[in-house]
């Protein structure tokens, strides 16, 4: 039975492949330390858990939620954006709930990209940015994220004829996988570029609250005119450790959101009401747990950066995100070969950079998802198995 052409360009997600490798190693008796998938290993704050417990006892809580989202959840999102970024949003027209930000990022292409039309997509980039284009039967034009440019796309390098055909551009800062950050000057340049060529900007800001050493990532919507050209996706998964709840939102330009509303109203019935109530508690409640969370990830970052660098593998220290993006150790050229050899020798799983696009070759991504003790064990195992001198 032949699958549709639109999915013939897709392969099994790298994370499934890494999971299969982990299962294979465990079956052989290996103690696997999986730093491949960026899935939070910490729990939501107790007041969020309590809100979820109380919500499931409410009458009607198990009814369909509908795609739009509870009005009180959308208001909580607008309140959080005002307090965190100073961005004012109309909760009715400029906020839409999502079943995880990946949901919205996948479906926005269906709303705005006709077959053959161009989307500007970062390379390397999170896989859904490209997979969504493929599913919409669009054409991907890669935006190279290069070290010499601070892993920011060079908008001036986009050919004029490509920019004129482009309908959507995706950006993501703090970035996954490259762990780079962007300032408001960059976002202002994006606004100008989008205005000039009438491009919809989709900014993924899922890692804004995992920032270190006093750094506070900005919102794209803080840039003057940003709301005229784009929307921003945010998730409760990383900020509040609610990944399995699939609770997120997209905010910004009301007309752009209307297209996504149409798609979602035809394919899903929204986020479970009890989960939205937990989301309200997260957004309106104390943010102390968010600050604690960031400090935990900062300590994890420091353990790996210091530890691996001491072994002769210089690893850069990111300002934000839950990842380390590092060049391969000296002597290695294939990220895939290195990751598989690393797993075979040590039982430690990273992700080969090439999984995120051709320009990811030569790098690996490390997720900061293990306890401090387990990360120290990662350093010890690698030091016992490799000589980087």
The full DSSP string for 30-93 is ---EE-SS----SPPPHHHHHHHHHHTTSTTTTS---TT--HHHHHHHHHHHHHHH-----TTT
Q: Which two tokens stand for residue 218?
A: 């900005």
Q: For the chain, how long is the longest CA-to-CA vector?
A: 64
Q: Is the pLDDT reported for residue 149 higher than 70?
A: yes
For 41, phi then psi, to 5°, come to: -100, 5
* Residue 277 CB neighbours (<10 A): 22
| Span 282-290, average pLDDT | 96
Q: Is 353 left (phi over 0), alpha (psi -120 to 50) or beta?
A: alpha
Q: Is 49 part of any domain?
A: no
End-to-end CA distance of the chain: 52
Q: Which helix (H) or strand (E) holds 241?
A: none
pLDDT at position 12: 63
If asked whether residues 19 and 75 sit together in one domain, one would say no
Q: Tell me how far apart the alpha carbons of residues 131 and 119 are, in angstroms, rounded to a whole number.
A: 11
If asked whether residues 260 and 155 sit together in one domain, one would say yes
Q: Tell me how far apart the alpha carbons of residues 339 and 349 are, in angstroms, rounded to a whole number.
A: 7
If asked whether residues 344 and 217 sit together in one domain, one would say no
pLDDT at position 207: 97
For residue 307, give its domain range: 5-43+289-385
Weakest-pLDDT range from 38-42, 321-325, 334-338, 345-349: 38-42
Q: Is 52 part of any domain?
A: no
Q: Tell me how far apart the alpha carbons of residues 286 and 283 are, in angstroms, rounded to a whole number.
A: 8
Confidence of residue 298 (pLDDT cuts 50, 70, 90): very high
Last residue of a domain, one of 239, 258, 284: 284
If asked whether residues 349 and 293 sit together in one domain, one would say yes
Beta-bridged to residue 34, according to DSSP, are: 349
Domain count, the chain: 2
| Span 269-295, average pLDDT | 96
Are 174 and 215 in contact, with CB atoms under 8 Å apart?
no
Q: Which helix (H) or strand (E) holds 318?
A: none
Q: State the average pLDDT for the chain.
A: 95
Q: CA angle, 188 as apex, 207 and 220 as ends, to 5°?
A: 25
pLDDT at position 381: 98
Q: For tokens 């790996």, name the residue.
A: 304
* 360 closest CA partner among 149, 147, 174, 207: 147
Q: Is the pLDDT reported for residue 230 higher than 70?
A: yes
If asked whether residues 113 and 24 sit together in one domain, one would say no
Q: For tokens 């943010």, name the residue.
A: 287
If asked whether residues 311 and 238 sit together in one domain, one would say no
If asked whether residues 37 and 63 sit together in one domain, one would say no
Q: Tell me how far apart the alpha carbons of residues 217 and 229 are, in angstroms, rounded to a whole number.
A: 20
| Span 53-78, average pLDDT | 93
| Span 91-101, average pLDDT | 96
Q: What is the dihedral of CA 144, 147, 152, 158, to 10 degrees?
A: -30
Percent of the chain with pLDDT over 70: 99
Q: Is 156 part of any domain?
A: yes
The full DSSP string for 168-236 is EEEEESS-TTT-----HHHHHHHHHHHHHHT-EEEEE-TTTT-B-TT--PPPGGGSTTHHHHEEEEEEH
Lateral strand order in the sheet of 230-235:
95-98, 248-252, 230-235, 200-204, 166-172, 118-123, 139-144
pLDDT at position 5: 82
Last residue of a domain, one of 253, 284, 315: 284
Residue 324 CA, distance from chain mean position = 13
Q: How far is CA 285 from CA 46, 61, 96, 288, in A?
A: 11, 21, 20, 9
If asked whether residues 232 and 360 sit together in one domain, one would say no
Q: Is 262 part of any domain?
A: yes
If asked whether residues 237 and 317 sit together in one domain, one would say no
Instruction: Give this prediction's pTM.
Output: 0.95
Q: Mind listing the pLDDT tens digit for each residue in 12-27?
A: 667 778 888 899 999 9
Confidence of residue 131 (pLDDT cuts 50, 70, 90): very high
Q: Mind listing the pLDDT tens digit for each residue in 246-257?
A: 999 999 999 999
Last residue of a domain, one of 252, 284, 316: 284
If asked whether residues 270 and 294 sit together in one domain, one would say no
Q: Is 205 part of any domain?
A: yes
- Residue 139, SS3 per DSSP: strand
Confidence of residue 8 (pLDDT cuts 50, 70, 90): confident
Are 282 and 126 in contact, with CB atoms under 8 Å apart?
no
Q: Tell me how far apart the alpha carbons of residues 90 and 296 are, in angstroms, rounded to a whole number.
A: 34
DSSP state of 137: T
If asked whether residues 38 and 81 sit together in one domain, one would say no
Percent of residues in the chain assigned helix, strand, coil, to nearest 5: 50, 15, 40
Q: Tell me how far apart the alpha carbons of residues 256 and 99 are, in angstroms, rounded to a whole number.
A: 18
Q: Is 370 part of any domain?
A: yes
If asked whether residues 95 and 38 sit together in one domain, one would say no
CATH of the domain at 106: 3.40.640.10
Confidence of residue 76 (pLDDT cuts 50, 70, 90): very high
Are 347 and 31 in contact, with CB atoms under 8 Å apart?
yes
Q: Is 50 part of any domain?
A: no
Q: Is the pLDDT reported for residue 148 higher than 70?
A: yes
| Span 45-64, average pLDDT | 95
DSSP state of 245: G
Q: Is 206 part of any domain?
A: yes
């Amino acid at each position: 039975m032949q699958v549709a052409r639109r999915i013939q360009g897709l392969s099994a997600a790298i994370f499934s492949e890494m999971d299969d490798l982990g299962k294979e190693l465990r079956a052989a008796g290996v103690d696997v330390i999986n730093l491949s998938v960026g899935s939070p290993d910490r729990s939501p704050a107790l007041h969020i858990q309590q809100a979820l417990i109380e919500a499931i006892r409410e009458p009607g809580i198990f009814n369909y939620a509908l795609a739009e989202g509870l009005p009180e959840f959308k208001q909580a999102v607008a309140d959080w954006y005002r307090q965190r970024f100073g961005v004012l949003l109309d909760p009715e027209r400029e906020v839409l709930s999502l079943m995880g930000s990946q949901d919205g990022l996948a479906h926005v292409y269906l709303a705005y990209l006709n077959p053959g039309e161009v989307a500007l997509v970062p390379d390397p980039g999170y896989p859904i940015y490209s997979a969504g284009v493929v599913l919409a039967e669009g054409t991907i034009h890669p935006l190279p994220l290069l070290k010499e440019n601070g892993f920011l796309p060079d908008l001036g390098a986009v050919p004029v004829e490509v920019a004129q055909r482009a309908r959507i551009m995706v950006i993501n800062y703090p970035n996954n996988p490259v762990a780079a950050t962007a300032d408001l000057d960059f976002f202002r340049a994006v606004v100008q570029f989008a205005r000039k060529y009438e491009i919809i900007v989709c900014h993924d800001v899922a890692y804004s609250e995992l920032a270190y050493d006093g750094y506070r990532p900005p919102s794209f919507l803080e840039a003057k005119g940003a709301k005229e050209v784009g929307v921003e996706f945010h998730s409760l998964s990383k900020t509040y450790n609610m990944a399995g709840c699939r609770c997120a939102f997209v905010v910004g330009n009301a007309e752009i959101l209307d297209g996504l509303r149409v798609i979602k109203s035809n394919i899903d019935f929204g986020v479970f009401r009890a989960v939205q109530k937990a989301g309200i508690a997260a957004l309106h409640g104390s943010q102390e747990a968010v600050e604690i969370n960031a400090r935990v990830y900062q300590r994890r970052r420091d353990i790996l950066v210091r530890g691996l660098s001491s072994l002769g593998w210089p690893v850069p220290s990111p300002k934000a995100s839950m990842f380390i993006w590092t060049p391969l150790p000296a002597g290695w050229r294939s990220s895939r070969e290195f990751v598989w050899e690393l797993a075979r020798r040590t039982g430690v799983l990273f992700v080969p950079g090439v999984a995120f696009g051709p320009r990811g070759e030569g790098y690996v991504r490390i997720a900061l998802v293990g306890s401090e003790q387990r990360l120290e064990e990662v350093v010890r195992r690698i030091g016992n198995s490799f000589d980087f001198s």
